[in-house]
Structure 1
Amino acid sequence: MRLEDLAHRLDSAGDDLAAASTTLSIIDPGARALGADASGALGELGRDLHRLLATALTARGAEAAAHGARLAETAHALRQVVAGYRTAEADSRTLP
């Protein structure tokens, strides 16, 4: 595998993670699915569960987005390394 191929794969994985971060925010089934509309202790439990679920989904979405950004940064750095290698090779050909 060439370094350019690796950079492309890192970009692709970063894009997938960014997409996953968006997906996580839309899979919340809503409070009603957890019984939050019930009265009494069961309703309170459902509301608490939904609050926990929403908090967890938000946190995991943020983590996925951050990891996606890190992968994109790594791909960019790898491309800079490739450019440096190419420059070094070209410069070495011009030496006496």
Structure 2
Amino acid sequence: HNHPMYAAVSYWFYHGLSGIAPAASGFERFTVKPAFPEQLLFCECRVETPHGSIVLRWHRTEGGISMLLSVPFGTEAEVTFDGKTTTVGSGTRVFEKK
């Protein structure tokens, strides 16, 4: 039996909670617009792509949120964080919200 009932949880985690979604085929470009539910203290997500792993980690700090994003080589991400949207290339970056 194959029932996709529980697939909704996985979909919500990757697309809702982490906010990672492709913007071009093969994740050559992708968007990152995470949700930060008050009840959650941290989130860690890894999405495997043909270019390598997209890694997103965020955790609550005293009065804010710290988010680390690793973008695979040869790709770019459009990141929405703290009300601002920024395009970043490959590498690892830290975003802070106070």
TM-score by length of 1: 0.22
Greater RCO, 1 or 2 (C-alpha within 8 Å, sep 6+): 1
TM-score of the pair, normalised by structure 2: 0.22
Where is the strand percentage greater, Structure 1 or Structure 2? 2
